[in-house]
Amino acid sequence: MKTTTFRINNKHFLLTKTGTGRRITIGDVHGCAKTLKALVWEKIKPTLDDQIIFLGDYLHRGDDSAGVMDFIFELREKGYEIFTLSGNHEQMALEKDIQAREKYEIMSDEERTTYTETYKNIPRLLKKANFADENRIIFPKYRQFLENLPCCYQMADFVFVHAGINFKTARPFEDFEAMLWQRDDDSVPAWLDFRIIHGHTVTRLSEIETQVRNREKVINIDNGCYYGVNPDNVGVQMGFYGNLCALDVDNWALYTQKCLDLGDDSL
């Protein structure tokens, strides 16, 4: 049976499930499309009864952000139950898109040429944006996907979010900015009767394994997959970082895939 989804608002969804499949959550992919495909097909080996929840940050750093989103679209087209959250990089991309469209629409032809040439020299995140055109304007199919991403999926026993939940506020499930950006878990109350699964903050593999083994209240599955784009990275060589992680929360099985998307190190 398929999942029932109840929308509290356009950023917060409740999920229920009556089927027998696994609930599997996947951490920050950051443009590493080859790695994601290997993780899904070779490690997770999903069935149509499974529920797969992506924790956001599909974009930037790796070279194939568009390929990551296209693969998610492909999984949905094949009938897999896919749930996708927004991360802070999706928010940043949409903000840049709005700025680019507003600026580009009022330019003269000469100004547009200069703007395009300037953009080609921009380093780091925007340079790894094959989901946008040369003027930083996101292609429509990707923009539609990014604009409709929620910040939180909540079940009876788990909450899935990109960065964290801010329990220091009276309305923690309305602090969507914290869900995208929060870096610490100091505010998690002792009485919490569900577990929080998130990414966002790069964590050593050994620590992730410990959190899973102990079934801790808060589990971070971001191992910095994109670090592996540069195999000479010291943390990658020592086995600390560079894996894309997925967690089967029903069987407490952690899947890891070493980064396969080798490229330059200008991250």
For residue range 211-248, list pLDDT tens digits in order. 999 999 999 999 999 999 998 999 999 999 999 999 99
Q: What is the pLDDT of residue 57?
A: 97
| pLDDT bracket for residue 122 (50, 70, 90) | very low
Q: What is the pLDDT of residue 8?
A: 84
| pLDDT bracket for residue 128 (50, 70, 90) | low
What does the alpha-carbon distance between residue 223 and residue 240 come to, in Å, rounded to a whole number?
8
**DSSP H/E element including 94:** helix 88-105
pLDDT above 90: residue 183: no
Average pLDDT value for residue range 253-260: 98
- Lowest-confidence segment of 99-113, 161-175, 176-190 by average pLDDT: 99-113
Average pLDDT value for residue range 155-176: 94
| pLDDT bracket for residue 3 (50, 70, 90) | low
pLDDT above 70: residue 112: no
Please state, for a pLDDT cut of 90, what percent of the chain lies above it: 69
> In this structure, are residues 115 and 104 in contact, taking their beta carbons and an 8 Å threshold?
yes
Residue type, 34: K
pLDDT above 80: residue 143: yes
Q: What is the pLDDT of residue 117?
A: 53
Q: What is the pLDDT of residue 110?
A: 61
> In this structure, are residues 195 and 156 in contact, taking their beta carbons and an 8 Å threshold?
no
pLDDT above 90: residue 32: yes
pLDDT above 80: residue 4: no
Please state, for a pLDDT cut of 70, what percent of the chain lies above it: 85
Closest CA to 64 of 266, 265, 263, 236: 263
Beta strands in the chain (DSSP E): 4-9, 12-16, 23-26, 51-54, 81-84, 152-154, 158-161, 195-198, 218-220, 243-248, 253-258
Q: What is the pLDDT of residue 111?
A: 53
Q: What is the pLDDT of residue 127?
A: 54
pLDDT above 50: residue 267: no
Write down the mean pLDDT value for the chain: 88
pLDDT above 50: residue 255: yes
* C-alpha distance from residue 198 to each of 159, 187, 216 (Å): 8, 15, 12
* C-alpha distance from residue 144 to each of 58, 64, 69 (Å): 14, 18, 11
